[in-house]
Chains A and B, each alone.
Chain A
Amino acid sequence: MKFGHEYEQALASEGFPEQWLGSAIDYKYLKKCIKKVHRELEGLGLDKETIHRLSEPLSQPENARRPSIGQHDFYSAEKPHLDSIPEEFTPQLRVLVDSATGVPLDAMLAPATRARLQKLAQSELIAARRQAHLGHHATHEIHEPATMELTKERTNSLTPDAQDAKWITIPLASAKAFFDLLGPKLEELERLREAETGKLELEIADLGAAVENVVEPVKDGFEAKRQVSYRDLYYWREMFRLYLENPIFYSNLEQNAGALTFSEAKSRLEAYDQQLRSTGLLAKMKTPAAKQAAKQFLDLNVDILKIIRFQEMNARAMSKILKKFDKRTHLEGHQFLMDLRTKYPALLPSQPVPGQKPTGGTVGFANSIARDLHAEITSKVLGIVPQIDDWTCPVCYSMAWRPVSLGCCRSLYCIRCIIKLQDDGHARCPTCNADTVTKADGRNIDFEAMDFLEKYFPLETKRRQKENEKADLARSYGEEFVKPGCEVM
């Protein structure tokens, strides 16, 4: 009751679009369905104890040799057909009986159930009537070969008069109604995931263009006209650095990579928003376009959280209702879930590998939404503003200036660091160990990278240029000629 109530309330009060609500799992109604299944089973004389007994081992020594097939394996398809799981899915009980007498070969059945099963086996009529009542869904000729195989396997290992055993199946109409309701809902949720992810991807691309526009490197004499400030570039860089440091809904950290739960993500977004306010970053943005784009960035994150929340709740509803189904009917509804996982890879992360820490907190379609959109934001929005950490020299850890590329690997070094390496007799590239340092000279300066750094890191460039000038002076005239106290930053 508690979860059902919470679920209904969240759906009603959290401002989800009307269209989404139509796709939400109808928890209350499914609960009613479970009651019906329960009643139907009782009507068949299959109460809790009986179903348990059906799945209990015949006797201990024989149990050891017993093939690991559930005796009340009510799921009709041996191998799920990926395109047709919800259509072909027909819940049923299967019981092994003596073909002549109809007596169940399983031990420990209540006499009433024995009688019932006997009737079922002897009278083709009953089965036929049931099937007519259920329509074509309840027929399962297609699975006959599998059934025969099962029969052989079991009887060979269990009973001496093997040839006389056969399986009878008891279709369960009410259980079918339950899964017929749940199946299409999942299809709808998957469609919703696809549609919303698509929409958000467009929003992300749009935002990417907006950010590109406000941080575009300032060209000479252009600034006033375009109403662009290079300061905005730095504010955006800081804003994105903070975001990368603590991503909202997906974590890249080695220790616990994966999607975060809605409540974790929500508190992260709140903290991020707070950070942007307390550092005054939002207020400092110079141009209206930059302010607008910043708002767009935050709104996008809110939108993503909303669909994550919706899908996460539905996943929880599904998991709870299947648990309830198992508990009330003692039929293994989770088989259904496992098959769905095959059909909708986006639905659930793969089962955690034993011995490995489970990753990701959120469940259902929410998980892949978080992962996909995080990747999208990282490449299409955050990637627009380069971070200094990606442009530092592996020797001095400052911005590589003037950037030198040795041609052996992708590392960029400061020209001064390369000269120092040469002076110290280091012949090999510090990063990849190729023999490239000795013959490096002015031709190795990477002018393209230099251009890029000048544009995107104007302040760092100025600082490094000053340092170099000072060092050149010191080199030519000695340390004492460098005026002390004029250190830049």
Chain B
Amino acid sequence: MTAPLPKRIIKETERLQSEPVPGISAQPHDDNARYFDVMVEGPGGSCYEDGEFKLELFLPDDYPMCPPRIRFLTRIYHPNIDRLGRICLDVLKNNWSPALQIRTILLSIQALLGAPNPEDPLNEAVAKQWKENQPEAIRTAREWTRLYAKKG
């Protein structure tokens, strides 16, 4: 017998639907209310602009004592995101707080797209390129966005 869904998850899900964040959506699976299909739009003005990035998000049993597990499904050229789509973001690790929510985490991820940080890399190769030849790195990021994250 599965445990009933905690009130917190029910409320968060409700609010994600009733007051959606612009440029972000998160839809729980019918058969697993802890598993979400996520879509994040690349922020305007960044090299991910006009891209639509798919992610998967899972709320472990311990949530909100531990952070949601989340990764990119769409390929993305970014120094803090590795080839498996794993994300290097402090609030998903040491700086997680149970008062954070799905919505705030997704906003942080969107912000990370707007401000890549090659000094704290997860993807060494991309970070290296980013530091040594930023215009080229940005061009590649745009190219990948066009190739893999096309809208529609």
| Closest chain B residue to A425, Cβ basis | B65
Q: Which of A395, A398, A428, A433 meets B64, CB within 8 Å?
A: A395
| Residue in A396, A411, A424 whose beta carbon sits within 8 Å of that of B62 in the complex | A424
Contact indicator B98/A397 (Cβ below 8 Å):
no
Contact, CB under 8 Å: B7 / A397: yes
Are A395 and B62 CB-contacts (below 8 A) given A421-B98, A430-B97, A431-B99?
no
Question: Are the CB atoms of A395 and B7 closer together than 8 Å?
Answer: no
How many A-B residue pairs lie within 8 Å, measured between CB atoms?
34
A395 touches B6 (CB 8 A): no
Contact B7 A398 (CB under 8 A): yes
Q: Write the chain A residue with the least CB distance to B11.
A: A397
A interface residues, how many (CB within 8 angstroms): 15
Does B83 make an interface contact (CB < 8 A)? no
Which residues on A sit within 8 Å (CB–CB) of B8? 395-398
- For the complex, give the distance between the alpha carbons of A397 and B14 in Å: 12
Report the bound CA distance from A394 to B12 in whole Å. 12
Specify which chain B residues have a CB less than 8 angstroms from the CB of A396 in the assembled complex.
6-8
* Nearest chain A CB to B6 CB, angstrom units: 7
Q: Would you call the interface of chain B mostly helix, strand, loop, or mixed?
A: loop
Residues of A within 8 A of B12 (CB): 397
Query: Nearest-CB distance from A298 to chain B (Å)?
Result: 27
The residues in B between 94 and 108 inclusive whose CB is less than 8 angstroms from any CB of A are 97-100
Please report the C-alpha to C-alpha distance between residue A426 and residue B66 in the assembled complex, in whole angstroms. 10
B42 to chain A, nearest CB (A): 23
Task: Name the prevailing secondary structure of the A interface residues.
Answer: loop
Q: Which residue of B lies closest to A397 (CB)?
A: B8
Q: Which of A402-443 contact B (CB under 8 A)?
A: 411, 417, 420-421, 424, 426, 428, 430-431, 433
Asked whether B11 lies within 8 Å of A395 as measured between CB atoms, the reply is no
| A421-B65 contact in complex given A395-B98, A395-B99, A430-B98, C-beta closer than 8 Å | yes
Q: Check B65 against A424 for contact (C-beta < 8 Å).
A: yes
Smallest beta-carbon distance A172→chain B, Å = 53
Cα separation A424 to B60 with both chains bound (whole Å):
14
With A430-B97, A433-B97 known as contacts, the answer to whether A420 contacts B65 (CB < 8 A) is yes
Known contacts A424-B66, A433-B97, then 9 further A-B pairs from the complex at CB < 8 Å, ordered by chain A residue: A394-B99, A395-B98, A396-B8, A397-B8, A397-B11, A421-B98, A424-B65, A431-B97, A431-B99
List 10 A-B pairs, Cβ < 8 Å.
Answer: A394-B99, A395-B8, A396-B7, A397-B8, A397-B11, A398-B8, A420-B65, A430-B97, A430-B99, A431-B99
- Residues of B in contact with A (beta carbons under 8 Å apart): 6-8, 11-12, 62, 64-66, 97-100
Residues of A participating in the B interface, judged by any CB pair closer than 8 Å: 394-398, 411, 417, 420-421, 424, 426, 428, 430-431, 433
